[in-house]
């Protein structure tokens, strides 16, 4: 089975801090994704990567950046955390080219910005 591991289940940070969320997958998937999930808004795509060092903006990239130096690892960076970035963050990965491959998700990081 595919395993997508997010480094923390819960995280509390302060406004203005630089925050790193880490995600690792063990199935040699080409594609990796970062979403956030908020009540009433569903899951929204922040960034995705289809190859090492490649990235594409999703629907809500403002205030975030990403890094993919190795195939198995995809990091989400909050450059200067703000309270409106309090959310559940979900990482996912998928195999191959194209959008029709299933995405496999981690269990999420619940991030609180105080």
Partner 1 sequence: DAKTTQPNSMESNEEEPVHLPCNHSTISGTDYIHWYRQLPSQGPEYVIHGLTSNVNNRMASLAIAEDRKSSTLILHRATLRDAAVYYCILSMDSSYKLIFGSGTRLLVRP
Which CB sits closer to partner 1, 45 or 77?
45
Distance (Å, rounded) from C-alpha 104 to C-alpha 4? 7
Which CB sits closer to partner 1, 16 or 102?
102
Residues that bind partner 1 (CB under 8 A): 4, 31, 33, 42-43, 45, 48, 50, 56, 58-59, 90, 92, 94, 98-100, 102-108
Which CB sits closer to partner 1, 17 or 37?
37
To the nearest 10°, report the CA torsion of 98, 99, 101, 102: 160
């Amino acid at each position: 089975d595919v395993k997508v591991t997010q480094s923390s289940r819960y995280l509390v940070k302060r406004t203005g801090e630089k925050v790193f969320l880490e995600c690792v997958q063990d199935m040699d998937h080409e594609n990796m994704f970062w979403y956030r999930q908020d009540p009433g808004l569903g899951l929204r795509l922040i960034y995705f990567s289809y190859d090492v060092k490649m990235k594409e903006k999703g629907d809500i990239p403002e205030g975030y950046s990403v890094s993919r130096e190795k195939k198995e690892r995809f990091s989400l960076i909050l450059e200067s955390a703000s309270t409106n970035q309090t959310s559940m963050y979900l990482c996912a990965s998928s195999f191959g080219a194209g959008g029709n491959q299933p995405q496999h998700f981690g269990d999420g990081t619940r991030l609180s910005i105080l």
